[in-house]
Amino acid sequence: MDREQIIARAKEYTERETDPAFKAEVEDLLKKEDWKELEDRFYRDLEFGTGGLRGVIGGGYNRMNSYIVARATQGLAEYLKATFPGKALSACIAFDSRRYSARFAEAPALVFFTH
């Protein structure tokens, strides 16, 4: 991925991310022109694996953050609605004492609430 693509993805992310801390991280990296770190955060999207959504916490598409959690939840919500049309659906969301756990629980709650 070339530098222009990384910059474009980073700017797109900062427009979409609503968490000020994660957004500021990426804006700071852009300002410092830290191309190595920016490339690591934007060369791919964080993948949902057998253990769920796991990764380094931080701003970017290849990191665990509020935007990525909400985006994965949006996909799940759309799948459930398509799979069970007309059914009343519910979800149980929990969090623990790990860093950002409560914030990462709030993101899917907001997605499911709007469906």
Mean pLDDT rounded to a whole number for the chain: 93
Q: State yes or no: pLDDT of 114 exceeds 90.
A: no
pLDDT at 48 over 90: no
Model pTM?
0.88
Burial of 68 by CB count in 10 Å (0-12 exposed, 13-18 middle, 19+ buried)? buried
SS3 state of residue 14: helix
Give pLDDT tens digits for 49-97.
877 788 899 999 999 999 999 999 999 999 999 999 999 999 999 999 9
pLDDT at 115 over 70: no
Per-residue confidence (pLDDT) for residue 53, from 0 to 100:
84
